[in-house]
Amino acid sequence: MVSRPGPSERTAAEAAAWLARLESTGRTEATEAGLRAWLDADASHRGAFEKAMDLWAILPGAAALRDGRDIGAEPLPDNRGMTRGRARSLALALSFLIVALVSGWWFTGQPTGYATAVGEQKVATLEDGTRIALNTDTHLSVRYEERARNVVMEDGEAMFEVARNPARPFVVKAGNKSVTAIGTSFIVRKTGNAVTVTLISGKVRVDTYSSPVGARPVQSTLLAPGERFAAAVDAAAMVTPVSSEAATAWRRGQVMFNDTPLSAAVAELNRYGGPQVDIADPRLGALTVSGVFATNDTAEFADAVAALHGLNVDRDAGRISLERQGAAPRE
């Protein structure tokens, strides 16, 4: 029985075939039109072709072929205008390329970093079609290897929509936590030593290690959709239900609060930038807030909270302060 190549191997072989067409026939209009159609057909195609080009640049004989020189053969033209020596050299180089691609070499390489500034959001599509949406002030790195797809979350928050590939698990490392998923959608947030994992769909396993890179996990937690795992490095983990709509509100430029302490709500809004909100009297931090607010409008949030709880709003030099009515103005 002949085994059928998996999607990754098939994509790699197709990328090599397109490169062969470019090298053997040149960039004709028909070839370029076909290549563009193939690149647009699937999100993984562009990454595979770019990796093929990178590998082609360092393969034996590739430089000579790009310069139009033949290797180890006399220039005997065939009926297509390509010398037979060049044809043999091209076939040899492409055979190296295909082996490198389908054997897994095309998945290795240096980590690729992704980052957003305060108030910025962006979406990155990886070579296998996996999508990463980065929230404000987020820094992470991605490294694809033959048997695993690894992400290191340095800080911030990101939503992962993972392309299914059971043979190469998708693993996100955040502090001493490791999140393993296969074909699923989830959110990881890392703030200092605190890590939260929210499962939107599919299944994930959260492993806790005794150190950031431990040999064996000391605890494993399986999440179901609509559950959130939260823990600091040295604290016990908690799993609580969460609304997927609320968890993904930042993708729509919003935050959703439901009886959230004012102190926590202010901290959440402030991380998106803009005029910072502060609470003049720490005792006000225990007041609760419910509602949907825009992440780019802290002034609207402050006005709504003031109206709800009978507070004053003091605006001065890019600062918004929530104060008790009758409080003395701050210098």
At 144, which CATH number?
Answer: 2.60.120.1440
Mean pLDDT, rounded, of the chain: 82
* 23 and 76 share one domain: yes
Which band of pLDDT confidence, cut at 50, 70 and 90, is reported for residue 27? Answer: low
CATH number for position 278: 3.55.50.30
* 216 and 276 share one domain: no
**Residue 107 clears pLDDT 90, i.e. is over it:** no
Write out the H or E segment, with its range, that includes residue 281.
none
Contact 266, 302 (CB under 8 A): no
Query: How many domains is the chain partitioned into structurally?
Result: 3
Mean pLDDT (whole number) for 228-246: 89
Which of 60, 86, 107 delimits the end of a domain? 107
* 171 and 132 share one domain: yes
Which band of pLDDT confidence, cut at 50, 70 and 90, is reported for residue 63? Answer: very low
Nearest to 189 by CA among 180, 179, 181: 179
Bigger pLDDT: 154 or 74? 154
* 46 and 63 share one domain: yes
- Plot region of 307 (φ>0 → left; ψ -120 to 50 → alpha; else → beta): alpha
Task: Answer yes or no: is 330 within a domain.
Answer: no
pLDDT for the residue numbered 83? 54
Which of 58, 88, 107 delimits the end of a domain? 107
Q: What gap in Å lies between CA 190 and CA 173, rounded to an integer?
A: 10
pLDDT for the residue numbered 235? 73
3-class secondary-structure state, position 292: strand
Task: Answer yes or no: is 329 within a domain.
Answer: no
Which of 227, 245, 263 delimits the end of a domain? 245
b/e code 39-49 from CB counts within 10 Å (16+ = b): beeebbbbbbb
pLDDT for the residue numbered 1? 33
Bigger pLDDT: 234 or 156? 156
3-class secondary-structure state, position 81: coil
Angle (CA) 277-122-155 rounded to 5° is: 60
End-to-end CA distance of the chain: 82
Instruction: Tell me which residue range forms the domain holding 77.
Output: 7-107
* 187 and 200 share one domain: yes
Bigger pLDDT: 143 or 147? 143
Tokens of 168: 């190469």
